[in-house]
């Protein structure tokens, strides 16, 4: 009986070895495919210096100012071309909280009056 249950005749435990992908053959672990390395060796290039270098910042400052001017023109054009919905939105934003609450209150009173009139008509 001892030979039937001995460890030497049984297969090794399932989680005792390294893991593998489902469907891969258990006998030969294959290496994952790798992307090719870039042709140029970037380690030997000097790179850019950070900071206040005058010769490289001239173009960047000009581009930044041109972008700011273009953004300002777009904002001015968008604010002048509001259209119907834009003008309604601007009017709604211009209202104070008291005005908005007054309008809501007036709408609620009108709805209650309409409900009361309907109820009175049903009892006749």
Q: Map out the domains of the chain as residue ranges.
A: 62-122
**Residue % of the chain over a pLDDT of 70:** 69
Q: What is the pTM of this model?
A: 0.30
pLDDT the model gives residue 60 = 75
Least confident segment among 48-52, 73-77, 98-102, 113-117: 48-52
The pLDDT tens digits of the residues spanning 1-43 come to 555 665 555 566 767 777 777 877 665 545 677 888 767 766 7
Q: How far apart are CA 31 and CA 88, in angstroms?
A: 65
Instruction: Give, for 78, the enclosing helix (H) or strand (E).
Output: helix 54-80
Residue 73: which of 62, 85, 65, 84 has the closest Cα?
65
Q: How far apart are CA 105 and CA 111, in angstroms?
A: 10
Task: Give the gyration radius of the chain's Cα atoms.
Answer: 39
């Amino acid at each position: 009986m001892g030979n039937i249950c001995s460890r030497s005749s049984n297969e090794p435990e399932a989680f005792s070895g390294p893991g593998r992908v489902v469907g891969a053959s258990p006998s030969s672990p294959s290496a994952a495919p790798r992307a090719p390395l870039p042709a140029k060796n970037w380690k030997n290039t000097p790179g850019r210096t950070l900071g206040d270098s005058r010769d490289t910042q001239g173009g960047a400052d000009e581009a930044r100012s041109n972008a700011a001017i273009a953004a300002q023109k777009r904002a001015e054009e968008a604010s002048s071309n509001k259209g119907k919905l834009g003008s309604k939105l601007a009017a709604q934003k211009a209202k104070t909280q008291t005005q908005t609450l007054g309008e809501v209150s007036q709408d609620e009173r009108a709805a209650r009056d309409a409900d009361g009139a309907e109820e009175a008509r049903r009892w006749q």
